[in-house]
Amino acid sequence: MTATAASTRQQQKERTRSALLTAALELSQEQGFAQTSLRQVAKRAGVVPAAFYRHFESMDELGLALVERCFGTLREMIRDAQRDPEVFDHIIDAAAEILVAAVKENKADFGFVSRERVGGSEVVRAAIRHELELFETELAVVLVKLPNIENWSTADVQMVARLFVRNMVAGAEEVVEMPAGRPDLEQQIIEGARRQMRLIVLGFKDWRS
Amino acid sequence: MTATAASTRQQQKERTRSALLTAALELSQEQGFAQTSLRQVAKRAGVVPAAFYRHFESMDELGLALVERCFGTLREMIRDAQRDPEVFDHIIDAAAEILVAAVKENKADFGFVSRERVGGSEVVRAAIRHELELFETELAVVLVKLPNIENWSTADVQMVARLFVRNMVAGAEEVVEMPAGRPDLEQQIIEGARRQMRLIVLGFKDWRS
DNA sequence: GCGTTCAGTGAACGCACGTTCACTAGAGAA
DNA sequence: TTCTCTAGTGAACGTGCGTTCACTGAACGC
């Protein structure tokens, strides 16, 4: 064991597992998950390649764990946001700002999701798609409580949820790609996202299925 | 030379170059461009690895050539569509149907663009982004002629163009991912795209910057 | 205290990769 | 016809990869 001292066996194992996940996330950010090798991950986590197998059967399995960890963070943030009464009152403005802030604070997670959603390995892609579908459904449940929408058909609400998720993913991509130290660009993205959502919401009151 | 007979030197060289591009496009479809090796491309094109260097300096250079070829096809289709008067009259319905039809006929091209837009190598990604920005601007020029929009600010028109392109990219992704032999799914995607665009357009008349 | 468990080690393997080089043979110019 | 030019060849190289294996030593249960 090369470990930082003081630990039970379980703690130490968990620490190494976490180090592997973090290393993989970092490397994915730099060069994409599919281009990231088991040996690179092990090296950055500070263990020998063979030790990798004590935690994951393959890079695919690590990828799935990474998807879970990222969406866990994401879900948590959304739950927090929903509790805030401010958010419900000014749902659009809040959504735009929260989105940008959240993405900025978790660039690695969001970047991983948005990149691997289309580009990555088969199994990782499938997992991300599944999570995003879950998220669409959750959002539909929230949306259906909004005025102007409450008596739409299920299909229409799902469609609108998809439209929103789609644009959130796109917005997240923009923030992830945003070069550091450009607060003007950030404001521009927030403003763009807000306008787009407002435009979509404007259509609500005139919608006929 | 292993070539199919009858040819000048130039013709034969062009044929091999094209075979390399096509091989790379196919392999990208199967496993992603970044995971596609120079040796795989050469093998599928029916030449020895070293021959690759007679046509491209590196896989990056081939990637750029591929981006150009794909967007060439795309631009051509859009120019054709614009000439059709039917399209301007029922712009929404037409756009949805054309999009799905076009993507279906050029799955490889669209798939390459949508996949490598976020996932791929730095230089390929940058090239695709640039092409998409050009496309946004072109679309803005078309949009500004529409009723309800003609006196919007430039920034607002750009925003709406971006919203449309974003959703077209997303729609294209859906079609690319669509499993073969499911015409019901195809109709569903067309219908979804149409509804989304109608919803967005509905907002136009009430928009205030 | 003492034998067991198991996270992490280090060497080894076979394989696919990008790149190089001297070469060959057929098309094109003279 | 003869000489030149060049697209394509085939062998070789060093490198990094995933995976395997027998191993070590500290935490753990008794």
pLDDT, averaged across chain A: 87
Q: What percent of chain A has pLDDT over 70?
A: 96
Select the more confidently predicted residue: B118 or B58. B58
Nearest to residue B205, comparing CAs of B160, B166, B162? Answer: B160
**Does residue A3 carry a pLDDT above 60?**
no
Long-range contacts of A103-107 (CB under 8 A, 24+ apart): A103/A171, A103/A172, A103/A175, A103/A176, A104/A175, A104/A186, A106/A73, A106/A74, A106/A77, A107/A29, A107/A175, A107/A176
Nucleotides of D under 7 A from a protein CB: 6-12, 16-22, 26-28
**Does residue B73 carry a pLDDT above 70?**
yes
In contact, B115 and B24? CB cutoff 8 Å: no
Residue B58 binned pLDDT confidence (cut-offs 50, 70, 90) = very high
Q: How far is A159 from chain B (nearest CA, A)?
A: 7
Q: Which residues contact A52 (CB under 8 A, 6 or more apart)?
A: A20, A38, A41, A42
Residue A45's pLDDT is what?
Answer: 98
Measured in whole angstroms, the distance separating CA B105 from the mean position of its chain's CA atoms is 11
Average pLDDT (B96-120) is 85
Average pLDDT (A8-15) is 94
Q: Which residues contact B57 (CB under 8 A, 6 or more apart)?
A: none
- Residues B125-151 pLDDT 10s: 999 999 999 989 988 988 888 878 888
Residue B4's pLDDT is what?
Answer: 45
Residue B139's pLDDT is what?
Answer: 86
- Residues A24-54 pLDDT 10s: 999 999 999 999 999 999 999 999 999 999 9
**Does residue A199 carry a pLDDT above 70?**
yes
Select the more confidently predicted residue: B194 or A36. A36
CB of B170 within 7 Å of some strand D atom: no
**Does residue A4 carry a pLDDT above 60?**
no
Residue A88's pLDDT is what?
Answer: 66
Entry pTM: 0.86
Residue B194 binned pLDDT confidence (cut-offs 50, 70, 90) = confident
Q: How far is B136 from chain A (nearest CA, A)?
A: 14
DSSP letter for each residue of A88-113:
HHTHHHHHHHHHHHHHHHTHHHHHHH
DSSP assignment letter at B179:
P
**Does residue A2 carry a pLDDT above 80?**
no
Is residue A206 less than 8 Å (CB to CB) from chain B? Answer: yes
CATH superfamily of A1-56: Homeodomain-like (1.10.10.60)
Spell out the domain ranges in chain B. Answer: 1-56, 60-202
Select the more confidently predicted residue: B31 or A96. B31
Residue A49's pLDDT is what?
Answer: 98
The length of chain B in residues reads 209
Question: Does B1-56 match B60-202 in CATH topology?
Answer: no
Nearest to residue A111, comparing CAs of A44, A60, A178, A45? Answer: A178
Nearest to residue A169, comparing CAs of B31, B158, B114? Answer: B114
DSSP letter for each residue of B47-104:
S-GGGGGGT-SSHHHHHHHHHHHHHHHHHHHHHHHHH-HHHHHTHHHHHHHHHHHHHH
C1' nearest to CA of B12: which nucleotide?
D7
Select the more confidently predicted residue: B103 or A133. A133
Is the domain defined by B60-202 classed in CATH 3.30.450.20? no
Residue B100's pLDDT is what?
Answer: 82
**Does residue B88 carry a pLDDT above 90?**
no
